[in-house]
A and B are shown apart, each in its own frame.
Chain A
């Protein structure tokens, strides 16, 4: 143990002897890594008071030229921020245009950016830009993702990023198509579950409030039921299921309440009213009511709809 510790120390010493610059470099890089927001000259002076100004400037310049740092100006003082390694990678073997386009795409994050916006931001010619994009795509620095908002719109983002739900649409989209049937099936199943809960009410003997409380189901319970059913190929989150349950609320079939511990409870309810008398008549659902009059083509006496309904 002792020997080992001794040798490592020795190694450190030799390293320091051979290249004192590198040690300082490593130190600065470590410092920059600890502060992702960037470090200023002042920070460096505080951290390494024994480093002469000339030497510090030399080291910083070297690091900047190697592409380890980005230079920013904030509030009158200079800031050095560490570049992430993927970016460092592109620094090698890429021309300036590619770098600019890359940084524009990087800025857009996982929401992606549309080709037209890249063109405006970079001021590049369309043909040139598409060439650059293609080359970046081949090198697997970026990827094109189809957005659900507009099916023909491609957005570009960095290769390693997971697209935002606003781009993919979340669990409800497959290949940019909204899976209406899937949603409908889930909607029905959730309702079936809550209905079953409601049926339990009749067998409850603990007074009306108890009976009502039986009918409540938390979103977690419904989620578990749906997961166990195995109707979904994709993994659904509780939040996804809450969206489905909310559609049931908007269908007027289910009521939503907050429970004491902050979770959301759902229960199936009966509507207040039967379907109103107006729409039991043909005139209530008449598609040509606007044209209906005493004279003309649509009149109550020769109305085809009423005749059919009376048959």
Chain B
């Protein structure tokens, strides 16, 4: 875990949970697992605050506790902190899979860490009531959506770590009328699921994002039909293989055909064999034919797939950073494994000077590595030494992961800075918004509203400082755009980070 990663986690925690939590987490970062007393001593915070912070961190799965010789020890799981960056993506994914209500339920669960079913339904109900979107809140619908989420394994029981139980997805019997009563303000009704807590099944969501990457890669490489076939293959893979296995167990052709028939792709159904052949023959090697029984057995090779994808990512990065000629050299070195400078310029057909410059730039930036080969039994004369270039994929991937952390941290810092430096204006706008809604609620017409807002001097309600001048408005728009843009970039960088971490997970 590097300095950059630490900084990134720290600023994520600061943004979402505030300074105290950040402070406690920072301490755990620096020192590793340690007991409560030491954390208190190091952070100089009141004990209650430290406890509170730890409680929040544990609830969200960022901190793990274990029984040591002298009481409990706490340690931070930084990977989980980084997952926070991906929450919007998970929510979007669930939204497309299961609909708007499900997204809200998921959001509630994410915000709370873990929560009971009845509680989350209550909260989502209230939220829908308040939100301006045209959704009608209804408890049965929400319950149905909750069940759907559980059925898709997006939510999971929280199980105490010590009990080595299999994760279970059994739904409790919810007392709907009690929930409705609770929403109406009756706190005594019992919905029948106390102490059955649910949390988000990140593992499952990560797998879904992983599958999306694979499917879209095949779609790009071949076509829509091949993409769909890949999706079906991954579904079939789930049925017979442990979730993070490197390769799937063999899938017989008959089953693939069966699965494809159910989809609505006539062309694909017609040409299943040919498409399988194409994916199998493609240089990306996502699919392997492993046997001939039953018309052919196929196996999805996740490990290989992510190696290929990581290569593609790195090649793209090199291309954007150093130009297409550098990318050519990078691919050439990859292809030849070990290669001399002389050969590089010959095969890449780049003028000697430029080729040398690019090769050594890549070397300097650690995208390629150099291996010295001495002829045995001779003195160290330079002519007797070969310098071979090669690429150590793991090294480069780790470097790029670091790069992602750095970029994410920078973008976050910048966003915070933009927000802070325009805080006054953003607050002002918020105030105005509440004011307008208040006025509206009190029955003011549109005209009156316009009058109030445009003629500040005549208004009794407002002081001049609370009004927006046109230039201020412009400025505000700009700031909001900036923040939005930075937010989008953050998600994009995280895409790359996700892909590279997937590669590291498999290798």
> A residues bordering B, Cβ < 8 Å?
172, 178, 180, 183, 187, 207-209, 212, 243-244, 246-247, 249-252, 255, 269-281, 283-286, 289, 292, 294, 299-301, 303, 306, 310
Report whether A279 and B317 are in contact in the complex, using a CB–CB cutoff of 8 Å.
yes
B349:A183 contact, CB within 8 angstroms: yes
Quick check: is B347 within 8 A (CB to CB) of the other chain?
yes
Residue pair A303, B351 in contact (C-beta under 8 Å)? no
B220 engages A276 (CB within 8 Å): no
Contact of B217 (CB < 8 Å), options: A246, A273, A292, A303: A273
Is B400 an interface position by the 8 A CB rule?
yes
Greatest chain A CB density within 10 A among B317, B335, B414 is at B414
Which residue of B217, B321, B349, B409 contacts A247 across the interface (Cβ within 8 Å)?
B349
Whether the pair B489, A280 counts as a contact (CB closer than 8 A) is yes
- Structural contact, A285 and B320, CB atoms closer than 8 A: yes
Q: Tell me the complex Cα distance, A161–B110, Å.
A: 79
Query: In the bound complex, how far is the Cα of B191 from the Cα of A191, in angstroms?
Result: 67
Shortest Cβ distance from residue B225 to the other chain A in the assembled complex, whole angstroms: 7
Known: A208-B275, A250-B328, A278-B400. A178 touches B491 (CB 8 A): no
Interface bits B464-507 vs A (CB < 8 Å: 1, else 0):
00000000000000000010011001011111110100000000
B5 to chain A, nearest CB (A): 15
In angstroms, how far is the closest chain A Cβ from the Cβ of B399? 11
> Chain A residues near B206 (CB, 8 Å)?
none
- The answer for the CA separation of A277 and B324 in the assembled complex, in Å, is 18
B397 at the interface (CB under 8 A from A): no
Q: Which residues of B contact A289 (CB under 8 A)?
A: 403, 406
In the complex, what distance in Å separates the CA atom of A277 from the CA atom of B496?
Answer: 6
**A–B Cβ pairs within 8 angstroms, 24 of them:** A178-B351, A180-B351, A180-B354, A208-B223, A209-B277, A246-B347, A250-B332, A251-B327, A252-B331, A272-B309, A273-B220, A275-B319, A278-B407, A278-B496, A280-B493, A281-B407, A281-B411, A283-B406, A284-B407, A294-B413, A299-B413, A300-B414, A301-B417, A306-B410
- For A281, the chain B residues whose CB sits under 8 A away are 407, 411, 489, 492-493
Q: How far is the CB of B391 from chain A (nearest CB, A)?
A: 13
Given A208-B225, A301-B414, answer yes or no on A283-B407 (Cβ-Cβ < 8 Å).
yes
With A and B bound together, what is the CA distance between A281 and B491 in angstroms?
A: 10
- Given known pairs A207-B271, A243-B349, A301-B417, the reply for A292 and B410 (CB within 8 Å) is yes
The answer to whether A277 touches B491 (Cβ under 8 A) is yes
Other A-B contacts than A271-B312, A300-B417, 11 sampled, CB-CB below 8 A, are: A209-B271, A247-B347, A247-B349, A251-B331, A273-B316, A275-B319, A276-B495, A276-B499, A278-B317, A278-B492, A284-B493
**Cβ of B315 and Cβ of A300 under 8 Å apart?**
no
Which single member of A274, A284, A303 contacts B317 (CB below 8 Å)?
A284
> Which residues of chain A come closer than 8 Å to B220, judged between CB atoms?
270-274
Q: How far is the CA of A285 from the CA of B277 in the complex (A)?
A: 39
Complex Cα distance, B7 from A310, in Å, reads: 23
- Residues of B with C-beta under 8 A to A276: 313, 316-317, 495-496, 499
Q: Within B273-312, which residues are at the interface with A (CB < 8 Å)?
A: 274-275, 277-278, 283-284, 308-309, 312
CA–CA, A284 and B403, complex, Å: 7
Known contacts A272-B221, A278-B403, A284-B493: does B485 contact A310 (CB below 8 Å)?
yes
Identity of the chain B residue whose Cβ is nearest the Cβ of A310 in the assembled complex: B482
A280: chain B residues within 8 A (beta carbon): 489, 492-493
Q: Does more than half of chain A's interface fall in helix, strand or loop, or is it mixed?
A: helix
Instruction: Name the CB-closest residue of B to A209.
Output: B274
The 9 lowest CB-CB distance pairs between A and B, nearest first, are A277-B492, A283-B407, A300-B410, A278-B496, A277-B495, A279-B320, A276-B496, A300-B413, A301-B417
Give B220-252 interface residues, CB cut-off 8 Å to A.
220-223, 225-226
A178 to chain B, nearest CB (A): 4
What B residues does A269 contact at CB under 8 A? 221
Q: Does B36 contact A (CB under 8 A)?
A: no
CB pair A178 B352 closer than 8 Å: yes
Shortest Cβ distance from A54 into chain B, in angstroms?
A: 53
Chain B positions within 8 Å of A252 at CB level: 315, 327, 331
Residues of A within 8 A of B308 (CB): 272
B408 to chain A, nearest CB (A): 8
| Shortest distance from the beta carbon of A189 to any chain B beta carbon, whole Å | 14
| Residue on A nearest B492 in the bound complex, by CB | A277
Q: Counting chain B CB atoms within 10 Å of each CB, which of A249, A280, A294 scores highest?
A: A280
Bitwise interface map of B from 343 to 372 toward A, beta carbon under 8 Å scored 1, else 0: 000011111101000000000000000000
Chain B hits for A283, CB < 8 A = 406-407, 410-411, 493
Nearest-neighbor residue (CB-CB) of B311 within chain A: A272
Q: Chain A's nearest CB lies how many Å from the CB of B415? A: 9
B180, CB-defined interface residue at 8 Å = no
* B205 interface residue per 8 A CB criterion: no
Bound Cα distance A294, B496 (Å): 23
Any A CB within 8 A of the CB of B25: no
Contacts of A303 in B (CB 8 A): 410, 414
CB neighbours of B275 from chain A (8 A): 208
Q: Which residues of A contact B407 (CB under 8 A)?
A: 278, 281, 283-284, 286
